[in-house]
Chain A
Amino acid sequence: RKEVEQDPGPFNVPEGATVAFNCTYSNSASQSFFWYRQDCRKEPKLLMSVYSSGNEDGRFTAQLNRASQYISLLIRDSKLSDSATYLCVVLSGSARQLTFGSGTQLTVLP
């Protein structure tokens, strides 16, 4: 089993749609969780950190479920500019190593 698993997609959704991505992680002692966004041929950029209480930033909502070991990202009212690959990132271990999921590709269609 991979340490961090994501549905690779692609997710093709119309503008204005709501879309959700899930990510599961295998290390129950993982400490921190993040969603990154990566545009084609560009570097990943931090979208948001994920907290146990859940957090929201505009149209984006991130949730953490430690019992089931998954995190989620919800995008409401999708925009064309949301088209990108979304990477789930988990921080684990005493060495505080970051593990990246393979990414979920989202395309928002006009």
Chain B
Amino acid sequence: SAVISQKPSRDICQRGTSLTIQCQVDSQVTMMFWYRQQPGQSLTLIATANQGSEATYESGFVIDKFPISRPNLTFSTLTVSNMSPEDSSIYLCSVEDRGTGGEKLFFGSGTQLSVL
């Protein structure tokens, strides 16, 4: 299974600032996914990050607010821009593993973001 390192694990930020979250995978993967999990809620897909092309954003999420980089097959970043308290959430990166036993989704350890 893929091993994913995500950082920072948590941060407390001021309104109006930006935070960049990094995700490093121990193997090359075609697609990386960024999710948000708001308090007491389930996971919502923000965007799919493909190497060499722009990320694909889900309804309700835009590039200006959540710019994503995918410079190579093992790394991606998500930036939460111009933060407001409503952005307080857990942000998770994930990768898909289509090995034996079928496809599985593995997650980074998450970034717990609090915006004051």
Interface residues of A (CB under 8 A from B): 32, 34, 41-46, 49, 87, 89, 91, 97-98, 100-103
Contacts and interface: CB of A to CB of B under 8 A. Distances in A.
B108 A43 contact: yes
A46 B102 CA distance: 12
Given A49-B101, A49-B104, A43 B42 contact: no
Interface residues of B, number: 18
Interface in B85-116: 90, 92, 101-110, 112
Given A42-B109, A43-B109, A43-B110, A32 B43 contact: no
A44 B102 contact: no
Contacts of B108: 43
Given A44-B107, A46-B106, A100 B112 contact: no
A102 B107 contact: no
B93 to A, nearest CB: 9
SS of B interface (majority)? strand
Given A41-B112, A49-B101, A98 B45 contact: yes
A32 B73 CA distance: 25
A98 B105 contact: yes
Contact of B104 (A46, A87, A100, A101): A46
A8 to B, nearest CB: 9
A98 B41 CA distance: 15
A70 B109 CA distance: 29
Contacts of B105: 34, 46, 89, 98
A102 B92 contact: no
A87 B105 CA distance: 13
